[in-house]
Amino acid sequence: MGRVLLIIGAVVGGLIFAFGVLGLILAFAQPDAQQSDEIVGSIFFMVVGALVAAPCTFFAFRLGRRSAQPWSPGGSPALGTPGADVQQSYLAWFAWCQQTLGGDAVSLHAATMAAMAAGAAGNPTAAASAEAARQSARLAASGVLPVAPNGAKVRMLSRIGASTAGLLEPSERVLVSFWGENRSTGLQMVWFFFGVIGRTIAASRMGAVFVTVTDRRVIALIGGQFGGLANRIALIEPRSTVSAKFRKALFGRGTFSLKGLGDSSVAMNVPRGWRPEAEMAFAMLTPSVGQAGSVGIIR
C-alpha cells in the first residue's frame, strides 16, 4: 500500500510540475500585462510539484528495490495448529477460545497465545483453558461483564500475537497486549520535511508499536500501521528494568511511553478503544500497585 501511495503522489506531483512548466512557457511565448504574475505563479506550481514528486519518487524507488517480506521472528515454534501461517493460526485459536472458553479481549488473547506457545510440544487446549481460568480472577475482580471484541480488534491482536509468538520464552505467559501510533523522532521529522504524504508512507513501515506485557518481560515491536507483522524490535527487557508513563487525555488518545535500560525507549499514542489494555499494562509496570486493583491485575 505504501508504494502505491508513493506512485500516486509522484504522478500528482509530476502533473503539478508539468502544469507550472506549461504556464511558464506560455508566459514567455505570449507576453502581456500580467506576465510577471504569471511567471511567479508558474514557478510556484513547479516548486510545489517538485516538493511532492521528488520524495515520492525517491521512496517508491527505494521500496521497489527493497521489496522486503514481512518480518518473522527468529526461532518461531513449529505450531501444530490449523494453518501454516502464524497469523492464521492465531485467528483459528482465537475463534476456538472465544467459542469454548469465552471472556473479553484480554483473556481471549492470553489464552490464544498460551495455546500457540504449547502447540509444538504440549497440549494447546489445556494450556488455553488454564490461562482462561487464571484470567477469570481478573474478570471477577473487575465486576464487569466481558464484552466480545470486534473484528478490527481481533485482526490487530492477530498481528500483535503473530509478531510476538516467536519471541516468547518457554512457559512465558502473555498477560496483555495493545498497540499505539508510533511517536518516534524519525516520524516527526518525516512529517516536518515531507508533509502528510511522507508521514503516510513512513507510517506504512514503522507507524505502529505493538506492546506485550508477560509475566516476565515487556516486548515492544514496531511495524506498519496499515497491515503486516512487526519488522523491528524497539524494546525487550525484564519488567523490573522498564518504567512506563501513561498520560491520559480527557478526549481522544493517551500517550504511553516505555523506557528501558540504556537508550531503549518507545512512545506511542494509544487509540481510545485500546486504553483499557494500556491502563492494565501501566498498572502492571507501576511498583506501587497491589496484587489486584480496580482493573483486576494478574501478575
53 and 199 both lie in a single domain: no
Instruction: Extract the C-alpha cell encoding 275.
Output: 486504553
One domain, residues 112 and 246: yes
Task: Write down the pTM of the prediction.
Answer: 0.70
**Residue 76, in any domain of the structure:** no
CA pair distance 59, 61, nearest whole angstrom = 5
142 vs 243, higher pLDDT: 243
Same domain, 137 and 224: yes
For residue 245, being part of any structural domain is answered with yes
Task: Map residue 85 onto helix, strand or coil.
Answer: coil
Asked if residue 298 belongs to a domain, the reply is no
Distance CA 244, CA 167 (A): 21
pLDDT surpasses 80 at 134: yes
Residues 133 and 243 in one domain: yes
State the chain's mean pLDDT as an integer: 81
Please indicate, yes or no, whether residues 228 and 175 belong to a single structural domain of this protein: yes
Residue 226: which residues within 8 A CB-CB, separation 6 or more? 1, 2, 203, 204, 207
Q: Please count the structural domains in the chain.
A: 2
Number of other CB atoms surrounding residue 171 within 10 Å? 12
Residues 97 and 146 in one domain: yes
pLDDT tens-digit readout, 51-80: 888 877 776 666 555 443 443 343 333 333
Residues 51 and 98 in one domain: no
Shared-domain flag, residues 189 and 156: yes
For 5-30, b/e burial (b = at least 16 CB within 10 A) is: bbbebbeebbebbeebeebbeebeee
pLDDT digits (tens, 9 = 90+) for 149-201: 999 999 999 999 999 999 999 999 999 999 999 988 776 676 666 666 666 77
CATH number, domain of 264, equals 2.30.29.30
**96 and 186 share one domain:** yes
Backbone angles phi, psi at 51, to 5 degrees: -65, -30
Within a domain: residue 238?
Answer: yes
The string over 258-290, giving b where at least 16 C-beta atoms fall within 10 Å of a residue's C-beta and e elsewhere, is: bbbeeebbbbbebbeebbbbbbbbbbbbeeeee
pLDDT, average across residues 106-120: 90
Tell me which residue range forms the domain holding 30: 2-66
